């Protein structure tokens, strides 16, 4: 058991493994943050969850940029091109998460002064960012799991 923990801690230090751990955080953190925003009385906690999940994109992209060259070595040319294209798409959409993160931080500090307006903006921006995040995950699946788009699930 302790041997496995040692392996786990070493792998967490590896950029290729660490970025895979961070990958679902923006999607699911944003989803749970929005659910809390709708149904919880703690507006600040939900905004913190949204801001932290969106902020996780920055370290995620740094780790991904570190890992991509090593991933590319193991791939054939067509797959390598798809990976580079997907990586570029991820870089080009990081601004969406930054806007959502800063919107959440501003809403935390403004408090209830602009309640309706900030709530509406957080909900619309959060849902839009959630769709972008789900779309990016779908594109990621198309690259790394091409059988998903080529075949229907076996019955």
Q: What is the pLDDT of residue 141?
A: 83
Q: Among 49, 24, 26, which residue's Cα sits nearest to residue 37?
A: 49
State the helix-helix crossing angle for 57-73 and 43-55, rounded to 10 degrees. Answer: 30
Q: What is the pLDDT of residue 99?
A: 95
Write down the pTM of the prediction: 0.83
Q: Among 23, 29, 24, which residue's Cα sits nearest to residue 46?
A: 29
Least confident interval from 4-8, 78-82, 133-137: 4-8
pLDDT at 153 over 70: no
Pick 146 or 91 by higher pLDDT: 91
> Which of the listed ranges 3-17, 56-70, 135-149 does the model predict with the highest average pLDDT?
56-70
Mean pLDDT calculated for residue range 5-22 = 75
Percent of the chain with pLDDT over 70: 92
Integer Cα distance of 153 and 14 in angstroms: 33
pLDDT digits (tens, 9 = 90+) for 44-61: 999 999 999 999 999 988
28 and 128 in contact (C-beta within 8 Å)? Answer: no
Q: What angle do CA 38, 23, 132 make, to 5 degrees?
A: 55
């Amino acid at each position: 058991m302790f041997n496995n923990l040692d392996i786990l801690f070493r792998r967490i230090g590896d950029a290729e493994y660490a970025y895979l751990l961070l990958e679902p955080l923006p999607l699911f953190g944003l989803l749970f943050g929005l659910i809390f925003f709708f149904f919880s009385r703690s507006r600040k906690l939900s905004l913190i969850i949204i801001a932290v999940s969106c902020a996780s994109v920055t370290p995620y992209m740094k780790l991904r940029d570190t890992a991509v060259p090593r991933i590319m070595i193991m791939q054939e040319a067509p797959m390598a091109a798809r990976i580079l294209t997907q990586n570029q798409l991820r870089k080009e959409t990081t601004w969406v998460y930054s806007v959502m993160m800063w919107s959440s931080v501003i809403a935390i500090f403004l408090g209830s002064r602009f309640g309706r307006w900030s709530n509406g903006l957080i909900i619309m921006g959060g849902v839009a960012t959630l769709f972008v995040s789900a779309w990016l995950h779908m594109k990621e699946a198309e690259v790394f799991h091409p059988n998903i788009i080529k075949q229907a699930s076996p019955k």
